[in-house]
Amino acid sequence: MALSPANDDILVDLESERRVLSGMLNSEDARIEAYDSLKEDDFYYPLHRTVFSLICQLYRRDVKPTFAELLKEAQSLNILRNQQEINELAYIAEHFIEGENISYWLERVKDRSRLRKFEAFLRRHHQKISENIQEPVDNVLMEAEEELTNMTALEIDDRVDSPVELAAVGYEEVERRYLRYKEIKELHKGVLPLDGLPTGFDSLNHVTLGYKTGDLIILGAQTGHGKTAFALHTAKAVAMEHKSPLLYLNTEMSRVQIALRWGSILSQVEHEKLRSGDLSPSEFSEVLQGYSELSNSGFYSYPCPNLTPEKMISIGRKFKAQKDIKMIILDYVGRMDKINPNYAEWQILEQIVKTLKMLGQNLDLAVMCLVQLNDDGTLQGARRMKNESDLMLKLIPVSPKEIEENEYLRKFKDVNYRLMIDKNRDGRSGIDIMIHFDKTRQIMRDAEPVSL
């Protein structure tokens, strides 16, 4: 065996470190979990830090980190040159146990890492006291307390902002907005540049300034009223026009169905024609052109009929690390598998929506979640969903009768849907955006105003 257990086994746990690395080499789930929750310096042994870092590098490039791949990577970086190090790596690679509870070993590695930090803290302060006994005791204690408080926080990333830090954040944000406003006036001649990802609708861009990182956007629509079309319209704006990688999770459609939808959206050829194959040569050529656009985009699709919140977190983390996705669209929440069959529908929805919000904030990406509206246009568990969301939209059909009766609607040539902004944490809400939805081609756009 290459490494021997350290003398101080309270602070160092050789077996846990090996188990985590072994898990990362052999199981993708373990890789995702460890990549997300550990840092290089959580490992005590320098060699384990190196191996962890190598695995993470390969993982980010979507390369399966086999023992041979690690050796190749190490060679290209000119590291792991001695036999003892290779022996340890081989030992780790060989000693994987299928079905291992990786979370248990991760916790152990994290706990030992925190204990070592605590021990270093005690040593440092002990030395400080012995070197500088002139410093006021209050100062010494306050300083130690602050450090200890950060150390005992449940999550390492948790932090409390001091007044100075918060003021700095506020100042930077106002300065950024002030400069942007000036830029709008001078450079863009009044056209608002976006703060986040494009929504695909000029009027919605104007109200929201785009979908921002950490935002949870909820879009509600009744069955057959454009949920998937809206999702793919958003994906087109983000992943094709803006070239930002996006992950699309669909719980009810197959990959063929999704691909066919894209064919129609991108070629503007009627969906029914694509389905039947009744295409003219020029339409066929348009469709091929559309797919060429899709293949060069940042659209990643994951059709998953049995999606659970856990699987969603796992796949979200993976695509963030490997493709640097900027947005996730979940189409749609009602088809997700129940975590606990005893939960009521609203409890399940609440849990999923909370998970989505947390995912967006932790991974710095915008998350859009599609939900189904009841026949009367209301939403099940609406209040709770609204609380969690940053932007809540409802896609509602507009009937010819409504247009006839409503003077405002008559100001648009071809409105047939309205997008109601039910909540907007960062701007105006309670307003409607007029939409034209071409169902035959699955295309959406802002409704065109009647020219005067």
Contact between 313 and other proteins (CB under 8 A)? no
CB of 97 to other proteins, least distance (A): 6
CB of 59 to other proteins, least distance (A): 15
Closest CA to 427 of 199, 226, 241, 163: 199
Contact between 2 and other proteins (CB under 8 A)? no
For other proteins, the closer of residues 60 and 95 by Cβ is: 95
The first and second tokens of residue 314, run together, are 């796992």
Interface region with other proteins, contact rule CB under 8 A, candidates 65-73, 204-212, 399-407, 411-419:
65-73
Question: Using CB under 8 A, which of 66, 84, 280, 292 touches other proteins?
Answer: 66
Angle formed by the axes of helices 255-267 and 227-235, nearest 10°: 70
For other proteins, the closer of residues 52 and 437 by Cβ is: 52
Strands, E assignment, 88-241: 216-221
CB of 321 to other proteins, least distance (A): 19
Q: What is the spatial distance between Cα 219 and Cα 394, in angstroms, rounded to a whole number?
A: 6
Q: Which residues contact 292 (CB under 8 A, 6 or more apart)?
A: none
CB of 94 to other proteins, least distance (A): 5
Neighbours of 342 (CB within 10 A): 7
> How far does the chain reach from its first CA to its final CA, in angstroms?
84
For other proteins, the closer of residues 90 and 259 by Cβ is: 90
Contact between 6 and other proteins (CB under 8 A)? no
Site string for other proteins, 19-58 (x = CB under 8 A): x--x------------------------------------
Q: Which residue has the tokens 């790596």?
A: 89
Closest CA to 419 of 381, 441, 388, 392: 392
**Exposed, middle or buried by CB within 10 Å (0-12, 13-18, 19+), for 49?**
middle
Question: Using CB under 8 A, which of 15, 111, 202, 414 touches other proteins?
Answer: 15
For other proteins, the closer of residues 34 and 330 by Cβ is: 34
145-204: contacts with other proteins (CB under 8 A): none
Contact between 324 and other proteins (CB under 8 A)? no
Interface region with other proteins, contact rule CB under 8 A, candidates 75-83, 120-128, 371-379, 401-409:
75-83
87-146: contacts with other proteins (CB under 8 A): 90, 93-98
The first and second tokens of residue 69, run together, are 């791949």
Helix (H) / strand (E) element for 377: namely: none
Residue 145: how many CA atoms within 13 Å on its side-chain side?
6
Q: What is the spatial distance between Cα 107 and Cα 263, in angstroms, rounded to a whole number?
A: 47
Given the rule CB under 8 A, which residues bind other proteins?
15, 18-19, 22, 63, 66-69, 71-72, 75, 81, 83, 86, 90, 93-98
